[in-house]
Chains A and B, each alone.
Chain A
C-alpha cells in the first residue's frame, strides 16, 4: 500500500481502537484482550511508518513528551524517544543523575515541577514498584510505565505479543516458556499477564530461590490478578518441551551476591538455553529475549544469533508498539481530555 509521507496514514482511518479512552498505561493488567488486539493493530500501522524513507508523521505534533528514567537504560529510552519523534512530538529526556533528584529534590517536587510545565506525556522508569502510580496522582500528563521496580513493564510485553503474533498468528493456545529470574523480573510479570490474557499457556521454570515465596496460584486473588493459570515446572526441559515461544530472562550477578545462586556457571549449566534445549521446542518456535543478553549465561551465543532468534525484531517492533501507545494516549480525539485550570498547577 503506497503511502506518501504527508497523506493521512491508514491507521487513523481504522477503527483500530476497542481501546477505552484512558489517561495512562501503567500495566497490561487492566487492558482487555480486545484492547490489546487493538493496540497491536495500531502498532502494525506504525511499523509500516518506521520502514519508510522519511520516518515522520504529524500525529503528535505540538505535544510534549518527557522521558524520565531513574534507572540506566539505553534501548528502552531510545525506543521511546524515537517513537515520540517519529510521531512529531517534542521529546525531552531526563535522567535522574543529571536532574535535581541528585541534588536531593524529592520525587514529588520533581513531578510537581513537571506538572507546572504542562506536558502531555511522561514516560517513567523507576526502581521502586508503584512509582508511576504515585506519580500519576500528582500530574495531569499521561503516564507511560517504562518499568517500575519488579512490578511491570507493559510496553515490553506488548511488543513481545506483537512479535509472536507476527510470526505465529493467533496467540491463543500457544505455549510460552519463560525461564529465569521471575522474582526480580518485571518483564516476566507483564509477559505472564499479557500472554495469558491473549489465551496462551504460560509455563515457568527457574531456581527455587528466584521464585516469589508466595504464588497461591489456585487462589481467587491469583486468578483475579492474572497469575492464576500459570504453571510452574521443575525442569527447564519440561518447560521448553513443545513450546512455541522460549523466553530466557537475564540473570544478574547481584543474585549470586545475595546468596540466591551459587554461581552464574551453575545457572547456565542447568537453565541456560542452548541449542540442545531449543531443539525440544517446536520446530517453528521463536526465541525471544527482552535484552540485554548475557551470552553464555542464560542464553548461548549460538541460540542468541540463531535462526529462531527474533531479538532484533523485538527491538524494531518496540518502536512501533511505543508509537502505538503514545499515539493512543496522546493524539487529539483519542486521549482522555485534560481540563487545565488556567494558572493552577494542581492536577484535577
Chain B
C-alpha cells in the first residue's frame, strides 16, 4: 500500500445526498476508507495526513455508472478495460457496471471471472460485471443466472438487443427471483422501429432518414412493466427516452411495481435537431455538416418535448438515476454514411459537465443531480457505495463548478472519440477522482469563470 494512506480533503462543499450533507466540510480518509466527514476541524488534527485543499470545489461521493460498454473482451480497438476505466476516472466515475455484449458474451462464470480478474489488474476504478439475460444474447435460452450471480454480476441484460420473445422476458424476470438481481431489458420493438436510424419526426423526414417512432420503445417498456408486475420481480429500465415510457413507468411505480429506471446524459440534453450537425441549430438548408454520425444512438435522440419530460421525471425521481451508456466506437464505424454508422455515444468523460448545465438553468437541483449519480445507483446495486460514510470505500469526486473547458475528444482517455459534443464549451468539470483513497485522475482546469 502507498505510504500516504491518510488523506484530508479540506474546505470543499461536501454534497452527500445519502448522508444528507450539503455544507463546507472536511473529509478524512485512511486506509482507503472514509474515516469521517466533519465540519469543524482543528488544524492539528491533520497531523500525519496528506492535506488536499478543496476550497471552491464540490466534493461528492465517487460517481457510479450502471451502464457502460467496455468492449473488452472482443473489440479492444474500440476500448479496453484499461482505457475505459481511465475514461471513467476522467469523468469522476469510481464504479462502472460493464455491459455483457462483449465477445465472448458474459453468459458464463468463466467470462465474468476473466473480466473481474483483468479489471483488478488493468482497471483503475471498480468494475462490476453485468451478466447476459440469454445465452449469447440471442434471445432464445436463459443464461445461467445462478452461476452468473455467484460469479459476481449485479444484474442481467442483453443490451444492444431487446428480448423480443415476451415469454422469455417473463421467464427471465420470474427466474431472476432466485438471485434477486434486476433484469435490464433494452426496450426496442424492431418491427415498430422499422429500420429507423433516428427518431421519427420532421428532421428525419427532411433528411430522408428512416425514422423510428417513440412507440418502438414505449410499447416494449409497457410490456416489460406489466410482466414485472405479473412476476413481482425486479426490473430496471435502461436509457429511457420517451414521454410515453415515462407515463407507463410512473403509473407502474404508483401501483407498487418493483422497477427502477435510468436516463443518459445525452437524452437529457441533446435532441433530434443535433443530427443536422450544428450543435442543435437548425439550418435553412441541409448542409455539409448534416448527417452527423456521432448523433446516431439507440435509443435515438428524441424531440425537445421528450427531453423536457425526461428532465422533469429525473427531477421528480420517477427516473431514478443517470447512467452514461458509454458506447465507444472506432472511426471505421462512424466515418461513413448515417445508415452505415454504428449506434452509440462516447459519454463517460463529458457526462457530468453536460448535465451540470441543467443545474445552472435551474431545471434540477445540484443535490438531486449528485444523488442520481451516487446514492440512488448504490441503492439499486444494494452495496455500500455512493456515500461518504465511515467505513465505506474512499471514492471521492472533486468538481470545479467554475471551470470553463471545451470538449476535445483527441484528449480523451477513451480509445474512441465518438461524441457529438466535440467543440462544445462546458462550465463545470471533474478535476480529481479518488478511488479507494488513491488519486486516479487529476487535472488543472485552464480557465475558470470568476465573474
Contacts and interface: CB of A to CB of B under 8 A. Distances in A.
B336 A108 contact: yes
Nearest to B210: A150
A214 B205 contact: yes
A106 B332 contact: yes
Contacts of A225: 202, 206, 282, 284-286
Contacts of B288: 133, 136-137
Interface string A194-216: 00000000000000000011111
Most buried by A among B210, B291, B335, B336: B291
Interface in A70-118: 106-108
A211 B209 CA distance: 14
B205 A215 contact: yes
Contacts of A149: 208-209, 339
A152 interface: yes
Given A128-B339, A225-B202, A152 B208 contact: yes
Q: Would you list the 4 A-B pairs with minimal beta carbon distance, nearest first?
A: A151-B208, A130-B291, A129-B208, A30-B285
Contacts of A137: 288
A227 interface: yes
A219 B336 contact: no
Interface in A114-137: 126-131, 133-134, 136-137
A276 B300 CA distance: 46
Interface string A209-239: 0001111100101101111000000000000
Nearest to B277: A133
A129 B206 CA distance: 10
Contacts, number: 101
Most buried by A among B203, B286, B335: B286
Given A129-B209, A149-B208, A221 B282 contact: yes
Most buried by A among B202, B209, B338, B340: B202
B92 to A, nearest CB: 34
Interface string B184-220: 0000000000000000111111111111010000000
A224 B338 contact: no
A106 B211 CA distance: 25
16 contacts: A27-B286, A30-B285, A128-B338, A129-B337, A131-B337, A133-B287, A133-B288, A133-B290, A134-B337, A212-B205, A213-B201, A213-B213, A214-B211, A216-B201, A221-B206, A226-B285
B286 A26 contact: yes
B74 to A, nearest CB: 21
B202 A29 contact: no
A136 B337 CA distance: 12
Contacts of B340: 107, 128
A108 B286 contact: no
Given A126-B337, A222-B202, A225-B202, A133 B286 contact: yes
Given A131-B337, A133-B290, A216 B285 contact: no
Interface in A221-261: 221-222, 224-227
Interface residues of B, number: 29
Most buried by B among A129, A149, A151, A219: A129
A186 interface: yes
A148 interface: yes
Nearest to B337: A128
A189 interface: yes
A215 B201 CA distance: 7
A107 B290 contact: no
A186 B27 CA distance: 62
Contacts of A189: 208
Contacts of A186: 208
Contacts of B332: 106
B336 A227 contact: no
Nearest to B293: A134
Contact of B284 (A108, A128, A219, A224): A224
Contacts of A212: 200, 204-205, 211
Interface string B273-294: 1000000001011111011000
Contacts of B291: 129-130, 133-134
Contacts of A215: 202, 205
A222 B332 CA distance: 34
A130 B213 contact: no
A189 B208 CA distance: 9
Most buried by A among B200, B210, B285, B339: B285
A214 B203 CA distance: 9
A108 B202 contact: no
A175 to B, nearest CB: 23
A114 to B, nearest CB: 16
A107 B291 CA distance: 15
A186 B209 CA distance: 11
Contacts of A30: 284-287
Contact of B282 (A128, A133, A216, A224): A224
A214 B340 CA distance: 24
Given A131-B337, A134-B291, 10 more contacts: A29-B284, A30-B287, A126-B337, A129-B337, A130-B337, A152-B286, A215-B202, A221-B202, A225-B285, A227-B205
A176 B267 CA distance: 40
Contacts of B338: 128-130
Nearest to A224: B284
Nearest to A182: B205
Contacts of A126: 337
A112 to B, nearest CB: 11
Given A224-B282, A225-B284, A214 B204 contact: yes
Most buried by B among A150, A219, A225: A225
A96 B396 CA distance: 55
Nearest to B203: A221
Contact of A129 (B207, B282, B287, B336): B207
B267 to A, nearest CB: 19
A130 B335 contact: no
Contacts of A26: 286
